[in-house]
Structure 1
Amino acid sequence: MTELSDIQTDTACPSCSDSSAPATDGRRTMLSLLPMAGHTRGKRSAVTCALKCDSACAKPAPNTSDNGYFRDIAGKALSRRHALGLAGAGAVALAVGSSGLAAAASPLEAGLAAGHGHGHGGRTKLPFKPISAVAATEDSFVVPQGYTWEPIIRWGDPILPGGVPFDVNNQSAEMQALAWGYNNDYTDVIVTNKAGTKALLCCNNEYVNPDIMFPPDLDATEQLRISMAAHGFGIVELERSAPGEKWSYVPSAPKNRRITASTPFEITGPAAGSDLVKTAADPTGTVALGTIGNCAGGTTPWGTILSGEENFNGYFRANGTSAEEKRYGLTDAASTYGWEAIEPRFDARSADYANEPNRFGYIVEIDPTDPTSTPRKHTMLGRLKHEGANVVIAKNRKVVAYTGDDERFDYLYKFVSKGKYNPNNRKKNLDLLTEGNLYVARFHGDSPATEIDGTGTLPSDGRFDGYGQWVPLVVDGRSKVAGMSVEEVLVFTRLAADKAGATKMDRCEDVEPSPKTGKVYVACTNNSQRGTTGKAGVDEANPRSTNRDGHVIEITEDDGDHTSRIFRWNIVIVAGDPSVNESTYFAGYPQDKVSPISCPDNLAFDSEGNLWISTDGQPSSIQKADGLFKVPLEGRERGHVQQFLAVPRDAETCGPVIHDRDGSVFVAVQHPGEDGTWESQNSLFPDYVDGTPGKGEFAGPRPSVVQVLKK
């Protein structure tokens, strides 16, 4: 979920071809992990950059295409009439890379999420007085007056039969595979009985930090094996005495499950069985081992979990010479964690495993109700650094999934299923993501180019807005990208989108449709290289140069139809701290009355239709802790950002879940104490044990899923 973009230039960071190689004792020194040291801003840690995204901002952005912003209508605003006129001009297939348009011809499925009816100007079942911004150095979890918090589950808590209570000094890969994984991200709590006393907690485990997890005397090979077992996904059963009371997890419950970097996955869709995904270990190209770098996700109307494989490139050592490898950030440097030392498949330089990286970077689907089911990787949604995916049901009952590519200057995508959703046929619904059409977004502003000057100053019409189109990549089983087969489009999706002339975005992270209005919200986290020398310049959808604070885009599909090929859009939040940064905007709400917010990341909704935003790098202008913020989207309160909670030292806020009807909010607290070492831990969250490593309880951080409750 994080690629720190707060670096001055691509060449400012020191580089070392061996920067991520394991130290001789099997552990990494801090110096070998910090190509971003001295180049981060705000509270972002260079350690997080190294472990989470392979220090992506210390390297050139992989997108070197020149498609840029759609400028073929030279200096002219694209009106709605013009857009629809072009769209209707024929149902002519888009000539990829040209300036032509093509288009085909919702209210959301009832019960998809929070509730019924429409949001009302900030009304909420979770009233609170916004907290003040918390110093990034503070090691505490802060909630509003009238609320309390406690962890539901922590790294290392046993969840499967045979698991034992966590003992940081007696770790093994076998025990980790039976316990909750590290660094939770996407989270959902699915209530499973009418009484509201039982639920399933589903959560990604994105990455690990060996320097604060393992005692120095732990065998180096065992560290690697534990790290693999701590990745992936976790499912646990929850129980409580009554709605509104706290949840507790149930150890060894029947539906509890861990999915790791070694769990078999079925590869689905048109690229399954392709030569592009075959390896010596899997000559059929249909079974991939494990899921890694799992970031945000989504929950489908049929009750499965979607999880995005994001920064997978850092797990492989490759030749790094082909256009395909370069476009995905694969290099000949040692991998971030050095797993190639124990599993040859992570060394893609060999002919046997040259295609192994092609088996990662997908949306995976997991059925939390069936612990014996085989999870799947859906090639039909394309291969990229998926932040996550979220599904809505269109007017014609087709399934539409939105997903973003979390890299500087990459793109926003939409999938439309071939089949239709049937609420009475779950078995059929499980195949809806295996076949359909894939599109990428192209944005058009409606203001003169001279008014988009990179400062963040609003154009004369008072807002950043315009129209856009969903450009086809694969439609009805056929490639719409010249010179690329369907399999190539789905395995090398970034290259296909380059050819299609998609709009380069400022890191599309979470993409969430509102369950109340059907509008779609895109969190663009940041991109400090926007408008710098040799990089894409500003456009109305990405209007700030060196955009360190990010923005949130609101998309309205034409006629409310999520299968439409035309949409309207506007920027609802231009983030930052208004007290030090005048180029902020909060849908017209007074700047001096909002909570400062920077680097929007994960999104969620409550039952009244309010948007909730978790941050990752908050804010860049001053050292403040990351948090969770509520933002009304309608009425007089539209744009009124209010901070609900703050997370501990070095942590980011992930996976917000808003169950406002029973007074609950859930968040995953990721990488607390990231800048510490085994000998000098930097956080004691969540147990705040005062002790010495090696004696008694672990006096260090444990990433956790936290529940916040009304007192």
Structure 2
Amino acid sequence: MAERQVRRALPLLSVPRHGGRDALTCKYRCGNACDHPVPNTSGNAYFGDILADHLSRRGMLRAGALGALVVGAGAAASAAPAYAAPAAPAAPARPGGGGHRLRFTPVAPNQDDKVTVPDGYEASVVVGWGDPVLPGAPKFDFDRQTPEAQARQFGYNCDYVTFFPMGRDRALLWVNHEYTDEELMFRGYQGGAAATEQQIRIAMAAHGGSVVEIERVGRTGRWKLVTRGRRRFNRRVTAHTKMVLTGPAAGHPLLRTAADPRGREVYGMLNNCAGGVSPWGTVLTAEENFNQYFVATNGVPAEAKPAFDRYGVPTNVPDDSRRWDRVEERFDLSKHPNEANRFGWIVEIDPFDPHSAPRKRTHLGRFKHEAATSTLSRDKRAVIYMGDDERFDYIYKFVSSGRYVPGSRRHNMKLLDHGTLYVAKFTGDSPEAEIDGSGKLPSDGAFDGSGEWIPLVRGDRSLVPGMTAAEVLVHTRLAADKVGATKMDRPEDIERNPRTGAIYVALTNNTRRTPGQVDEANPRPANKHGHILEIVERGNDAGATTFRWSVPLVAGDPKDPATYFAGYDKSKVSPISCPDNLTFDSDGNLWISTDGNALGSNDGLFAMPVQGRERGHVRQFLTVPYGAETCGPLITKDQKTVFVAVQHPGEITGASPDKPASRWPDGDQPRPSVVSVWHERGRDIGA
């Protein structure tokens, strides 16, 4: 790998953005969301406005004792890989934070142009942008790209990663391709209005996802792409892959277009960020910032504008648009106003059937999806947790009406079309005056409280006055506004601890929260560093409708008094900013990847025990190259490998193919890639 040593500080931005994310990333990843008005203009109360009505509940169990609660409760069944039914929870971990102590020496913050790992570890690229995926795909050539080649090669920016073992030494790897940065992909790119049809079609083919077969290298934790043989499961999903809409909203007039008058078929998925794996072994991939791909060259119908505004969908032609409408008019909402409603869903994909049509599951709601983490309730119903990645938006979960049947794939594949969709409402249990934005804990010693899951729709029956079930599912944000859901600081990934059953939510940041809007679950104004939320549902049952919650981590510089590391000695922790994706190792330690480090160094992957004496002890495990974001991550069940997706290396304002800001990984043009990291002596990751 090419290496570049310490770089200049990340550029200061002229307007508040997502933590320290560069303006170029803001432009292509989310369509400059921070530069636009906050979409949620509802009158939903912040915690600070409603605490007085709930102080009588302060006698309930303090969430500050969540660590003890989850150790003793016994978890419900957790999600399982494709080859096995969900297993019973393991025995509680011994004190120290997990089944083993985390013993690696933390990596120091840096701006190096490489993947930096602790002493004793190694890292290697598994697959990167342009690598052949399908038979007949050509070798990648940066200056000779074609749409036909890209549709058979590994796509561009790689985000969510998941792993399906096929024996000890073979596996399938699924990877999301979230978005494209045409300024770094093409020499001389002049913007969407001047882009060639070839450039636009290459970008379309670089979206979506990939299934690739990988193999272990010897007895190590290193994995590499299989490049020989049939590779019968390999697959590319792009912006042109035929998909079907399922669930209560399928066929509704809001989903019908001239090309699809039945409202049941869609081509492609866009801006897929995080995801999950169903208990029956399918990929659940989340469409996020889909809004930015559309324009309206001549306005939109008046009745459609409020919903478009709530989702940030443009009703004009933004200057920074990709202008895909110049190639396919379905992206012009003046001509096809319902096309945008066909994006923003959870998409289910069978990695073991490359000929199956992906399914957009409408019962899971439509919003800027981040995560689709699955588990089973005590009575074996499928449960999916989801975040809506926008400032002041919400946290959701879906609970199926049917029950999981081990080994009955045909039955289980129908579970996500029938059930109840909920949105979360949080209540703090401390006096309003004690939540002052300074970072000082309230008198009960914790940012904590209670909460409830408010039902929005059950089957084909709406539970929101004035909206049909299909309207709730297509315009889920509007429905959640109506029932008083709690405004959060950009809910991103949500994961369930396999040891304890507790739920963890990454709240990445929210620089628009004012001092008058702080509350116990979002305790800091101008929150540029983000925090982590911990939830324990009643009876530790994923099917419950009430829960307790606490905030174990308020991220940032440990020297800042507004930060909090679950009470751990802050002189011993690594600085962390902008938590994004989460995962757990088999021992119940929480691993946190970051996006947009506002402390001025490269993004990275961090580990934090959530139990025992080490609870809150954050340590940095790796850093990604200059300008990149840390995505994935995923730790294999045997704990010998951690996979990390290195997204948008070198995505720095002013960079171009003729003047790259990063040359990772090949010493030439930066290529988003997935890496595997392992201990050189075969030890467990982190041990």
Query: What TM-score do you get using the length of structure 2 for normalisation?
Result: 0.89
Check 1:424–1:327 CA distance in 2 against 1; reply closer, same or farther (3 A cut). Answer: same
Structure-1 separation of matches of 2:244 and 2:551: 38
Equivalent position SS for 1:390: strand
1:113-128 counterparts in 2 under 5 A? 116-120=90-94, 121-123=96-98, 127-128=102-103
- Shift, 1:221, TM fit: 1.1
Residue in structure 1 matching 2:364, options 381, 387, 399: 381
Partner of 1:23: none
SS in 2 for 1:427: helix
Rounded to whole Å, the distance in 1 between the matches of 2:374 and 2:120 is 34
Q: How many residues matched?
A: 635
User: Which residue number corresponds to residue 237 of structure 1?
Assistant: 213
Q: How far has the Cα of 1:40 moved from its partner?
A: 4.6
Asked if structure 1 preserves the Cα contact closer than 8 Å seen for 2:51 and 2:431, the reply is no
The answer (yes or no) to whether the contact 1:182–1:206 under 8 Å persists in 2 is yes
Q: Which residue of 1 aligns with 2:634?
A: 657
Partner of 1:94 in structure 2? none
1:59 matched to 2:31? The reply is: no
**Residue 613 (structure 2) aligned to one of 624, 630, 636:** 636
110 and 75 in structure 1: CA distance in 2 versus 1, 3 angstrom threshold: closer
1:180 is aligned with what amino acid? F
SS at structure 2 position matched to 1:313 = helix
User: Quick one: structure 1 residues 267 and 36, their matched pair in 2 at CA, closer, same or farther if it must change by over 3 Å?
Assistant: farther
Shift of 1:583: 0.7
Structure 1 partner of 2:622: 645
Distance 1:65 1:126, change over 3 A: same
1:233 alignment partner, SS class: strand
Equivalent in the alignment of 1:307: 285
Tell me if structure 1 keeps the 8 A contact 2:107–2:116: no
The answer on whether the counterparts of 1:114 and 1:607 sit within 8 Å (CA) in structure 2 is no
Q: Does 1:343 align with 2:328?
A: yes
- The aligned counterpart of 2:163 is 189
Match of 1:443 among 409, 412, 426: 426
Deviation at 1:132, TM superposition (A): 3.6
Shift of 1:115: 8.1
Query: Which residue pairs with 2:684 in the alignment?
Result: none
CA distance in 2, matches of 1:354, 1:217: 29
Gaps of 5+ in 2: 1-10, 62-74, 81-85, 681-687
Aligned residue identity for 1:583: A
- Give SS of 1:215's match: coil
Indicate the SS of the match to 2:479: helix
**CA apart distance, 1:116:** 3.3
Map residues 598-677 of structure 1 onto 2, 5 A cutoff.
598-618=577-597, 620=598, 622-659=599-636, 661-675=638-652, 676-677=655-656
- Does the alignment pair 1:199 with 2:178? no
CA–CA separation in structure 2 for the residues paired with 1:603 and 1:202: 17
Specify the alignment match of 2:550 in structure 1.
Answer: 570
Residue identity in the other structure for 1:129: F
Whole-Å separation in 2 of the counterparts to 1:563 and 1:670: 35
Instruction: Encode CA deviations 1:387-434: one digit per residue, 9 max, x unaligned.
Output: 121011010110111100000000000100011001120111111111
Query: Which one of 333, 342, 346 corresponds to residue 317 of structure 2?
Result: 333
CA distance change for structure 1 residues 396 and 548 in 2, over 3 Å: closer, same or farther?
Answer: same
Please tell me whether the aligned partners of residues 293 and 321 of structure 2 are also in contact (alpha carbons under 8 angstroms): yes
Q: Which range is displaced more, 126-135 or 422-431?
A: 126-135
**Equivalent of 1:255 in 228, 233, 237:** 233
Q: Distance in 2 between matches of 1:122 and 1:35?
A: 37
Letter in 1 for 2:553: I
Please, which of 107, 130, 134 is the counterpart of residue 105 of structure 2?
Answer: 130
- Confirm or deny: 8 A CA contact 2:514 2:526 kept in the other structure: yes
> Is the aligned partner of 1:293 residue 2:277?
no
For the 8 Å contact 1:43–1:650, the answer to whether it is kept is no
What is the aligned counterpart of 1:432 among 376, 394, 415? 415
Distance 1:342 1:324 in 2: 26
Larger mean CA deviation between 226-235 and 473-482 belongs to 473-482
Counterpart pick for 1:583 among 562, 566, 582: 562
Give the letter aligned to residue 582 of structure 1: P
- Partners of 2:518 and 2:533 lie apart in 1 by 15
Q: 1:209 and 2:181 equivalent?
A: yes
Work out which of the residue numbers 16, 21, 27 in structure 2 matches 1:50: 27
1:432-475 superposed Cα distances (whole Å, 9 cap, x missing partner):
11111011000000101111112221101111000000011012
- Contact 1:522/1:553 (8 A) holds in 2: yes
Shift of 1:623: 1.1
Secondary structure at the residue paired with 1:298? strand
SS for the counterpart of 2:371 is coil
Matching residue within 159, 172, 175 for 2:133:
159
The counterpart of 2:395, out of the listed 381, 406, 412, is 412
- Please give the secondary structure, in 2, of the residue aligned with 1:387: strand
| Distance in 1 of aligned mates of 2:362 and 2:18 | 36
How far is the alpha carbon of 1:113 from its aligned partner?
Answer: 8.2
Per the alignment, residue 64 of structure 2 pairs with: none
1:449-468 map, 5 Å: 449-468=432-451
Measure the CA separation in 1 of the matches of 2:101 and 2:567: 24
SS at match of 2:127: strand
Find the counterpart in structure 2 of residue 708 from structure 1: 677
| SS in structure 2 at match of 1:577 | coil
Specify which of 353, 357, 364 is matched with residue 347 of structure 2.
Answer: 364
Distance 1:114 1:653 in 2: 31
Equivalent residues of 2:426, 2:521 under 8 A apart: yes
Q: Which amino acid aligns with 1:601?
A: D
Identity %: 51
- Gap change, CA 1:277 and 1:81, over 3 Å in 2: farther
Q: Tell me the C-alpha RMSD between the 2 structures.
A: 2.1
Which amino acid letter does the alignment assign opposite residue 668 of structure 1?
A
Q: Which residue pairs with 2:8 in the alignment? A: none
125 and 58 in structure 1: CA distance in 2 versus 1, 3 angstrom threshold: same
Change (3 A) 1:471 1:38: closer
Q: Deviations over 1:661-698 (max 9, x none)?
A: 352111000000112212101111112x2xxxxxxxxx
* Residue 537 of structure 1, aligned match among 508, 517, 527: 517
Preserved contact between residue 581 and residue 632 of structure 2 (Cα < 8 Å)? yes
CA 1:312–1:126 in structure 2 vs 1: closer, same or farther (change >3 Å)? farther
AA partner of residue 563 (structure 1):
G
Task: Tell me if 1:146 matches 2:120.
Answer: yes
Partner of 2:464: 481
With over 3 angstroms needed to count, the CA separation of the structure-2 counterparts of 1:115 and 1:704, relative to structure 1, is: farther
Aligned residue in 2 for 1:24: none
Q: CA deviation at 1:169?
A: 1.2
CA contact (8 A) 1:261 1:291 kept: yes
Partner of 1:222: 198
Matches for 1:3-14 after TM superposition, within 5 Å: none
Superposed CA deviations along residues 291-336 of structure 1, whole A, max 9, x for unmatched, are: 0110000011111011110000000013366111100001212463
One-letter amino acid of the structure 2 residue matched with residue 204 of structure 1: N
Q: Contact 2:78 / 2:89 at 8 angstroms: preserved in 1? A: no
d(CA) in 2 for partners of 1:312, 1:226: 18
Change in 2 beyond 3 A, CA 1:549/1:365: same
Per-residue Cα deviation, 1:598-629 (whole angstroms, up to 9, x for no partner): 110000000110000000122x2x31110000
1:564 offset after TM fit, Å? 1.0
Q: Compute the displacement of 1:210 (Å).
A: 1.0
> Mean Cα displacement is larger for which, 592-601 or 109-118?
109-118
2:72 is matched with none
Paired residue type of 1:160: L
Q: 1:537 to 1:614 in 2, by over 3 A?
A: same
Unpaired runs of at least 5, structure 1: 1-33, 84-105, 690-698
Q: Which letter maps to 2:483? A: A
Separation (CA, whole Å) in 1 of partners of 2:457 and 2:54: 29
Amino acid at match of 1:710: H
